[in-house]
Structure 1
Amino acid sequence: MNPLTILRDSLYFFRRNLASILTLCLPLVVLEALSKQLLSSTLDPNATATYELLIGLLFYPLYTGALILFLDARSGGDEPSKRNLLAAALRLWPTFAVLSALSTLLIMGGLSLFILPGIWVMIKLVFSEYLLVLRGLRPLAAMRASFMMTRGHMLRILTCVLFVYLPLSVLEGISYYVLPEQQSFALSLAVDSTSSFLQLFISVVMFRMFMLIDEQTKPV
């Protein structure tokens, strides 16, 4: 289970299915970014972070749930309709939102102590979304199962996460350095939407690893 092989396979899948992922997820990603932009322009800066977190809990479970269902279907050779995927993601939204809220609180709690505990919690919870969406586990059960499933794979997962997040962080930093400080509303929306969409690649990478580990743990 070489991290570079997982990244290569995930990139190949992402490129082949880019059009489908764009039409499935990008509209919701743009709506999320638009909502955050409108809030940041009207609310007090101290309250903006809280409301942005709530907006994330509204939209993130929808497009991520739909993406996970799409990844599972395509891995089996199926091509489900976007409407069915979004409808299924909408049904999963209540439990997915609870999982996202709990995971965010745990990760933020870890980060408030030191950076490393936050990263450790993030890695241990990395499969909880797939377990909830694809295995039907409740939020707490999915979190516990993810803690168990990641045992012995921490370094591989961390390597894959860093290989994705570091280049994206560099690109995002360059974009804010190159673009004018006072960006237009449309330009700022485009940058935020593009950044959020590209971060979905980590879901593709983690799905690939999730499936490989799941295959290893199945009884022969």
Structure 2
Amino acid sequence: MNMLSALRDSWYFFSHNLAAIARLCLPLIVLEGLLLQQVTSLVAAESATLWRLLAGLLFYPLYSAALILFLDARSQGLQPRALDLLAASLRLWPSFALLAGLTTLAILLGASLFVLPGIWLMVKLAFAEYLLVLRGLSPMKALHDSFQLSNGYFWPMLGCILIVMLPLWLLDGWSQSNAILADNALASLLLDCASRFLQLFSSVVLFRLFMLRSAQPEVE
């Protein structure tokens, strides 16, 4: 599994399908951003993170599943309609939302144990969404099989995730601590939506890694 090759191929796909991905996912990302902004303004600061996570579960499974289905269709040379993809993602929402909740909980619990266990779980569970959407596995089976599928490929997967996500995490941290943005709802919303949209690139990268890993023999 060549990390740089996977990143290059993923960027080529993402940049050449940017308009289609934006039409598919951006409306839901904007709605998610508006909801999260309202939730943050209505709840106490100490419980805002929890409520933001719960609110995010309404929208994240929809546009993430739609994107995965889009990636799979385009990899087969198909041109799927956005409405068909969103309809399929809506049918997957209950199981995807459960999977996203379990994954988030596991990573947060791991991160509470000196961070490194959370990073390890983030990588080991990275393929679960693709297994659920593309192979029709249940949430628990998808989590289990993601552990198995990532055996022997932890470091290239971690490298790809960090290269893509670390700059976006730093941007999010800066925006949340910036007093000017905190007082400007529109600027905060635009930056949040831009960050979430750019994070879709990580889904493209992980899809590429998933396809490469699926084509390789099992590693004990």
Instruction: Note if 1:87 corresponds to 2:87.
Output: yes
Question: CA shift at 1:178, angstroms?
Answer: 8.0
Aligned to 2:143: 143
Contact kept, 8 Å, 2:175 with 2:181, in 1: the verdict is no
Structure 1 counterpart of 2:156: 156
For the Cα contact (< 8 Å) 2:175–2:188, is it kept in 1? no
Question: 1:77 maps to which residue?
Answer: 77
Matches within 5 A, 1:24-35: 24-35=24-35
State the shift of 1:44 in Å: 1.5
Q: Distance in 2 between matches of 1:179 and 1:5?
A: 40
The 5-angstrom pairing of residues 169-188 of structure 1 reads 169-172=169-172, 180-188=180-188
Structure 1: give runs of 5+ residues left out of the alignment.
none
TM-fit CA distance, 1:173: 5.2
- Pair 1:163–1:52, CA change in 2 (3 A): same
**TM-score normalized by the length of structure 1:** 0.94
Amino acid at match of 1:116: L
**Aligned partners of 2:182 and 2:188 also within 8 Å:** no
* Counterpart for residue 7 of structure 1: 7
State whether residues 181 and 187 of structure 2, in contact with CA within 8 Å, keep that contact through their aligned partners in structure 1: no
* Cα distance change on mapping 1:160 and 1:182 into 2, 3 Å: closer
Q: Given the superposition, is the C-alpha separation of residues 190 and 10 from structure 1 closer, same or farther in structure 2, using an over 3 Å criterion?
A: same
AA of the residue aligned to 2:9? D
Q: Measure the CA separation in 2 of the matches of 1:133 and 1:146.
A: 13
Give the residue type in structure 2 aligned to 1:60: Y
Change (3 A) 1:69 1:152: same
* CA pair 118-173 structure 1, distance change in 2 beyond 3 A: closer
Offset of 1:130 from its aligned partner? 0.1
May I ask how many residue pairs the two structures share in their alignment? 218
Distance between the aligned counterparts of 2:14 and 2:141, measured in 1?
A: 29
Q: What's 2:208 paired with?
A: 208
What CA deviation, in whole Å up to 9, does each residue of 1:68-100 have, x standing for no partner?
A: 000000000001000000000000000001101
Query: Matched residue of 2:79: which SS?
Result: coil
Residue 192 of structure 2 corresponds to which residue in structure 1? 192
Q: Tell me, which stretches of 5 or more residues in structure 2 are unaligned?
A: none
Q: CA deviation at 1:47?
A: 2.4
**In 2 relative to 1, CA 127–26 (structure 1 residues): closer, same or farther, beyond 3 Å?**
same
Match of 2:20 in 1: 20
Equivalent-residue separation in structure 2 for 1:10 and 1:53 (angstroms): 27
1:179 CA drift (Å):
8.3
Does the residue aligned with 2:29 lie in a helix, a strand or coil? helix
Q: Deviations over 1:20-50 (max 9, x none)?
A: 0000000111111110101111221122222
Aligned to 1:51: 51
TM-score by length of 2: 0.94
**1:65–1:166 CA distance, 2 compared to 1 (3 A):** same
Residue 172 of structure 1, CA deviation: 4.2
Deviates more, 1:72-81 or 1:167-176: 167-176
